[in-house]
Amino acid sequence: MGTVRGTLGAWLATLLLAASLAGCSSVGFVPRAKDMSPQSRQTPTLSWNPFPTPEYESLRNRITDVSYELRIWTTYSPARRELARLTLVYTRLGLPGHVHEVEDPLRVEADFVWAVRARFKLDGEWRVSPWSTAAAWDRTAKLPELGYARFCTRLH
Amino acid sequence: MRTFFGILAATAIQACAVSSLPPPPAEDVRSQLRRVRISGLPAPAEIVLDAPVKGWLAGIPAGACDFATAFWEVGADPTADQAALLSLLAPVGLVVGAVYGPFAARPTEAVEREERSLREVLVRASSGFAARVEGQGRKACPSIIVREGEEAILHVGPAAVRLTGPYWLDPFVRPSLRMKVRLTRTDGQILYEAEITHTGSPRHFTRWASSPEELAEYFQLALDDLAERIVDEVFLTVLAPGK
């Protein structure tokens, strides 16, 4: 009974996860984890599309002083079937570029989610973009769970 | 196994939920916000706590419900074929659960003791929120937040504190905190109004009950997140045009 229930559960959960991610894929902001070789997993290089992204194009002439804010949280690990509390473990303010190599090594054998947002002046006043998800700027995503860009530091 | 798929299910359902968060105030409204005072709203209107069933008799329907709905716990909109299969399996779960339930249900006194302890945490969960919003506001936009001589007032306060889950023998319950936000001019005109929710990770009721301090800790983190999010929404966030 448990096996049947588990199999059905996994199947339906996968469908729902895929559907929820597919719903976001048409928006043009795609942060992604690069350079994830085993040697660099604890200090991955994260990159994202430079701001203003195309959807902010009409505001380009009013936007100045762009920098980025980056946050990384530990999160639960479906693969390891453990429930870790969401904990903010890394934050950087005022990043000038759209690539960042994590400076403090992250815990090994753990799962993380990460997000960035742009900080900028609009008509001379400080403003921010929504936080990024894996596929979009999305201020309605629940903090910070499914939909956020994810990576892990496991070797296998 | 059940815990694992419960987490997946709850997360997937949450991700599919449509947020009703309104757009942040327009820039022409923000340009009028030069002096804003933060004010607390009264204590929560709603505190909801879903406890496990109490006593062996209540274990019969809860066990039946628990097992019969187990296949559906991953959520919404199965296809017709899936629904047919699930419908065939549900009665089996119903019978097995009804037999198993009375043995698994916990004594009334024990559940009520845990319920009292967790309810105390829920009652205290939102205290001091306005001060946190003010602190966050002073950090993020220091020139705007004032304690007197305001041109507008940002009212913030709890709308609901919840620890809720399904009707199971030991429900998988998820904490959440919903805050009301209302920005008004001093003449009472409403400039912005919203409710913003922070939702935590689910755990079995008995696990929260064994460590209520972890639930209190979750609410502290949620208050900080919500304070930041409210200040961002009202004063800082710019959506892409047309969004």
Chain B residues with CB under 8 Å of A141 CB are 15
Instruction: Annotate B44-64 with DSSP letters as a single string.
Output: PSEEEE-PPPBSHHHHHHHHH
Kindly tell me if the per-residue pLDDT of B231 is higher than 60: yes
Chain A residues with CB under 8 Å of B236 CB are 126-128
| A145/B contact by beta carbon, under 8 A | yes
- Report the chain B residue with the minimal C-alpha distance to residue A29: B240
Tens digit of pLDDT for each residue in B42-62?
Answer: 876 689 998 887 777 777 777
| A137/B contact by beta carbon, under 8 A | yes
Query: What local confidence, expressed as pLDDT, does residue B2 receive?
Result: 40
- Report the chain B residue with the minimal C-alpha distance to residue A88: B221
Neighbouring residues of B52: CB distance < 8 A, sequence distance ≥ 6: B62, B105, B106, B111, B168, B169, B170, B171, B205, B206
| B9/A contact by beta carbon, under 8 A | yes
The answer to whether the Cβ–Cβ distance between A12 and B82 falls below 8 Å is yes
Tens digit of pLDDT for each residue in B3-34?
Answer: 434 444 444 333 333 346 788 999 989 988 88
The answer to whether the Cβ–Cβ distance between A128 and B232 falls below 8 Å is yes
d(CA B97, CA B172): 17
The answer to whether the Cα torsion of A32, A38, A44, A50 is positive or negative is negative
Chain B residues with CB under 8 Å of A20 CB are 12, 15-16
| A26/B contact by beta carbon, under 8 A | no
Query: What local confidence, expressed as pLDDT, does residue A154 receive?
Result: 64
Give domain status of residue A19, yes or no. Answer: no
Query: What local confidence, expressed as pLDDT, does residue B35 receive?
Result: 94
Query: What local confidence, expressed as pLDDT, does residue A132 receive?
Result: 82
Closest partner CB to B74 (pick from A13, A76, A130) = A13
Domains and CATH numbers, chain B: 21-52+124-243 (3.30.160), 55-105 (no CATH)
In angstroms, the Cα distances linking B52 to A34, B10, B57, B174, B215 are 45, 18, 13, 13, 17
d(CA B36, CA B143): 9
B residues 17-36 closer than 8 Å to A (CB): 19, 21, 27, 30-31
Chain B residues with CB under 8 Å of A127 CB are 236-238
Tens digit of pLDDT for each residue in B92-102?
Answer: 777 777 777 77
- Higher per-residue confidence, A41 vs B197: B197
The answer to whether the Cβ–Cβ distance between B73 and A147 falls below 8 Å is no
A residues 42-61 closer than 8 Å to B (CB): 53, 55-56, 58-59
Which pair of structure tokens corresponds to residue B159? 């709308």
Kindly tell me if the per-residue pLDDT of A2 is higher than 90: no
d(CA A85, CA A111): 11
**Range in A44-58, A71-85, B191-205, B217-231 with the lowest mean pLDDT:** A71-85
- Higher per-residue confidence, B225 vs A31: B225
Query: What local confidence, expressed as pLDDT, does residue B1 receive?
Result: 36
Give domain status of residue A6, yes or no. Answer: no
CATH number, residue A89: 2.60.40.10
Which pair of structure tokens corresponds to residue B20? 């009703």
Give domain status of residue A18, yes or no. Answer: no
In angstroms, the Cα distances linking B107 to A85, A97, B54, B116, B169 are 30, 59, 6, 15, 12
Alpha-carbon torsion, ordered A105, A149, A87, A130, to 10 deg: 120
Give domain status of residue A121, yes or no. Answer: yes
Q: Is the ipTM of this complex over 0.90?
A: no
The answer to whether the Cα torsion of B243, B227, A134, A79 is positive or negative is negative
Average pLDDT over every residue of A16-27:
36
Kindly report whether the global pTM for this prediction surpasses the value 0.90.
no
Give domain status of residue A10, yes or no. Answer: no
Chain A residues with CB under 8 Å of B86 CB are 8
Give domain status of residue A2, yes or no. Answer: no
Give domain status of residue A136, yes or no. Answer: yes
Kindly tell me if the per-residue pLDDT of A50 is higher than 70: yes
Chain B residues with CB under 8 Å of A59 CB are 238, 241
Helices B80-104 and A2-22, interaxial angle, to 10°?
130
Query: What local confidence, expressed as pLDDT, does residue A5 receive?
Result: 40
Distance from CA of B241 to the nearest CA of A (A): 6
The answer to whether the Cβ–Cβ distance between A9 and B8 falls below 8 Å is yes
The answer to whether the Cβ–Cβ distance between A126 and B236 falls below 8 Å is yes
Tens digit of pLDDT for each residue in B128-185?
Answer: 999 999 999 999 999 999 999 999 999 999 999 999 988 777 888 889 899 999 999 9
- Higher per-residue confidence, A115 vs B243: A115
Query: Do β-strands A63-75 and A87-95 pair in parallel, antiparallel, or remain unpaired?
Result: antiparallel
Give domain status of residue A112, yes or no. Answer: yes
- Indicate the number of domains in chain A: 1
Kindly tell me if the per-residue pLDDT of A146 is higher than 60: no
**Range in A32-46, B102-116, B122-136, B217-231 with the lowest mean pLDDT:** A32-46
Chain B residues with CB under 8 Å of A125 CB are 30-31
The residue segments making up the domain with residue A140 are: 27-152
Query: What local confidence, expressed as pLDDT, does residue B147 receive?
Result: 93
Tens digit of pLDDT for each residue in A127-144?
Answer: 999 888 765 555 554 544
The answer to whether the Cβ–Cβ distance between B74 and A12 falls below 8 Å is yes
Kindly tell me if the per-residue pLDDT of A12 is higher than 50: no
